[in-house]
Structure 1
């Protein structure tokens, strides 16, 4: 988009002088900014991926309603180029290469999750494109030396369960069971959860991995019960968590405290009353309102969502908020950089660290691009009330219900 070809038309002397003079930005030759990303139409990441892309689409619509992103005094509309990755990391590498080489996008948004993002990053690094992350939380992802990748809104898994484990300990939990599927994000989240549980004086009595695609969780749930776990914390995706919840009811397996990351999503809550009393976390709730200086406020976002997606099967959730926030940050980063060169965008990302707050929370990164803030308050799903913030105390609207009533007493 910001071509340098005009330099070659300068006389030799002028070109030599230009080489010695720092430039604030390269020249703009395109009339729009093309942003690429992939969406999962099928597979284990489909629900979360589709929820996220609606957040990006809201940002694009909002930007274009305002005439585009202002770069060096001129506004450029944003065009979103979407391709399907089918939740397949082998396919991701092919589609991101297509986005960059064939579609000639100026920058990209990451796919959903650490598994797919790690695959996409190998392509964006090789081809020199900036990638904005909105969902990949694996700490290991930021230890691989990727230079052009920034996590705009997703805090790392090592810290993600901090608030949950603080609340569990405060409620009197002494023994915790952590279950996770054999994938980077669930595994990293479980490891971070184990560390946070230990810090809060609790004993991890079961730390159990199971293969991706498993459908029957009866044995692993029985093991958690036999181990004496008072808190059950499975760290997998929606499909697994829905199956576990239904199987706990069928087997009449009860735990005083159950935390599930994706229980805050409308897709999970669609299972009905079986979701009651489960703890989760979110940064999208009427009681959670940050002082925003980039992008829309939560109320503006909610109104825009209803206007743009009047027939959406599900309302927005924390993934929609994370993806929209990443878009709002991208706008500020492009404006600061003055172009879409990957190195310039990374520098602008670091320069703006600690200075921006979007609807999803405050933004700050380290040199690797890892997000340092964007905290997740803990919510509990309560009968007749839906999601209720219960921790930390400064955002809690009521005390949690603990212990969870047994299935036969609900």
Structure 2
């Protein structure tokens, strides 16, 4: 089997938004082609597909305005999608297909740090600008890559810190950490532990677990035996649903449990009572409204989501708005650069640092492309719904702390 046939056998057929049937030419008003992989199955599927819907909202908006002006000509934007199946070994080859065979002008990263790290070598080697919308692992930005920019996703070591500040403000003095042994959970936990110790909190446990772990009871019992008031296990969404269920089944009465994904619509729907009183974080809530300078605001984005995806299984979530915001930043980068050259786009991205506020928040990067703003708000799931509990300027309710013991819950 030839190489190209092999890749397409592994990956889903390319799906192009608004793509013409004629071959792409070098004309100055040809569509801008953005490549991206989206997981059809596996660990990252839910989040990847949610993010892709956010990018589609930006595409719909920018193309309704005629596209992006480069050199006095409006150029519409097309999205070329392939399937990475949540498989990091497949990712480099699929991105090479996007670049070499599909001739995309730039790329969006896949979901998450694990897959994005796998994509970065391929995009960098081929001189393509990559917009990161979800990967947060600090290690990605220490590799010396020239053409990557995190448009909206805050760096991993900063990502988990708002939750620590919130727990500290509630009075938590002892906290136990557990994390999946992958770049994103490790970075988030590292930053959270560092801040916890700086604030004078006692870290009673710091344990990692392997991908594929299904039984978390030993970790739960170890955290409880450590005397921790708060349990802070970090993994991806499916694992966190399992952790929430097993905490309830074990009647492990921590005063607080923090699960980063517990405010996601799919988590709330599938976890049910297992997720009650759990703390989490998000960028997307009806009470969180940034003073937007570029793109749609939160309410407008949600309206466009309802229009474009009336039959979506889940409502928009923070992955959706992260990818939408990344599209907005990308538009400003291209407009400022007046070019699709990777070096010129990186230069423009740096010039724009501190000058853009999207629906996700403020945009600020350093020379490596690492994002420092777009800090998440802390939520708590109550039996009557989600509430913003931190930071105080956007809080809609005081946190319930300590949470009720399982024996007292209905």
Normalised to the residue count of structure 1, the TM-score between the two structures is 0.92
Contact 1:177 1:233 survives alignment (8 Å): yes
Contact 1:157 1:189 survives alignment (8 Å): yes
* Superposition deviation, residue 293 in structure 1: 1.2
Q: Which has more radius of gyration?
A: 1
* Superposition deviation, residue 72 in structure 1: 2.3
**RMSD over equivalenced CA pairs, Å:** 1.0
**Would you say 1:312 and 2:297 are equivalent positions?**
no
Q: What corresponds to 1:105 in structure 2?
A: 104
SS in structure 2 opposite 1:263? coil
* Superposition deviation, residue 29 in structure 1: 2.9
SS in structure 2 opposite 1:89? coil
Q: What corresponds to 1:202 in structure 2?
A: 201
Contact 1:161 1:196 survives alignment (8 Å): no
Contact 1:267 1:314 survives alignment (8 Å): yes
SS in structure 1 opposite 2:365? coil
Residue segments in structure 1 that go unaligned for 5+ positions in a row:
1-26
How many equivalent residue pairs? 383
Q: What corresponds to 1:382 in structure 2?
A: 382
SS in structure 1 opposite 2:261? helix
Distance 2:292 2:169 in 1: 31
Distance 1:161 1:345 in 2: 30
Contact 1:169 1:201 survives alignment (8 Å): no
SS in structure 1 opposite 2:206? strand
Runs of 4+ off more than 6 Å: none
* Worse overlay, 189-198 or 359-368: 189-198
Contact 2:29 2:74 survives alignment (8 Å): no
Q: What corresponds to 1:283 in structure 2?
A: 283
Residue segments in structure 2 that go unaligned for 5+ positions in a row:
1-25
**CA offsets 1:295-346 (integer angstroms, 9 cap, x no match):** 1011110100000000000001111000000001101110111010000100
Q: What corresponds to 1:340 in structure 2?
A: 340
Distance 1:187 1:313 in 2: 30
Q: What corresponds to 1:251 in structure 2?
A: 250
Contact 2:150 2:371 survives alignment (8 Å): yes
SS in structure 2 opposite 1:121? helix
Normalised to the residue count of structure 2, the TM-score between the two structures is 0.92
SS in structure 2 opposite 1:90? coil
Q: What corresponds to 1:223 in structure 2?
A: 222
Distance 1:328 1:387 in 2: 28
Contact 2:28 2:73 survives alignment (8 Å): no
Contact 2:136 2:155 survives alignment (8 Å): yes
Distance 1:192 1:107 in 2: 31
